[in-house]
Amino acid sequence: MFKTIVDPADCEVRSVIRFLNAKKVKPAEIHRQLVEIYGENVMTDGMVKKWVRQFNDGRTNVHDEARSGRPSIVNDGLVAKVNDKIRENRLFTIRMLFDEFPQISKTVLHEIVTNRFLNYRKLCSRWFPKMLTDVHETK
């Protein structure tokens, strides 16, 4: 039996598809071999067929192409400014922060404050870091 490779890179799997396609192996057989080595969740049969079709149409790059989209406005400087405003007045609301940073939507501000960056949560009408020590909790 073969050794299973866990969590392969996407470009690695596509390289295998390109190699086996060049050897004229059918897409169904390519998928079977991928599942045998990389496991059940590697790629669907339809995706293997899609990549085989693209390689047959002349594609040579196995990496993802650049995608268009709105660039993120969140950076370390902005997170630091938001954190400074919070520390100035812990009784703030997201609405008050929005008044301070009108270029940023309330949703993005809420995301910065709560989940992804600062990890604050509302506690007794004040914002506190999520990770409180026993000393902080008793105060």
How many Cα atoms are found within 13 Å in the side-chain-facing hemisphere of 7?
0
* 80 and 44 in a common domain: no
**Is residue 25 included in any domain, yes or no?**
yes
- Highest mean pLDDT: which of 25-39, 68-82, 107-121, 124-138? 25-39
Tell me the torsion sign for CA atoms 37, 40, 41, 44.
positive
Residue 109, SS3 per DSSP = helix
* 51 and 14 in a common domain: yes
Structure tokens at 92: 């703030």
* Residue 15, domain CATH: 1.10.10.1450
- Strand segments, DSSP code E, in the chain are 120-123, 126-129
Number of other residues whose CB lies within 10 A of the CB of residue 53? 12
Per the prediction, the chain carries an average pLDDT of: 85
Mean of the pLDDT values across residues 123-133?
A: 64
Predicted TM-score (pTM) of the model is 0.51
* 53 and 92 in a common domain: no
**Is residue 39 included in any domain, yes or no?**
yes
**Is residue 102 included in any domain, yes or no?**
yes
Assess whether pLDDT exceeds 70 at residue 59. Answer: yes
Q: Which amino acid is at 57?
A: D
- Which residue range forms the structural domain that includes residue 110? 76-115
**Is residue 63 included in any domain, yes or no?**
no
Higher pLDDT, 114 or 47: 47
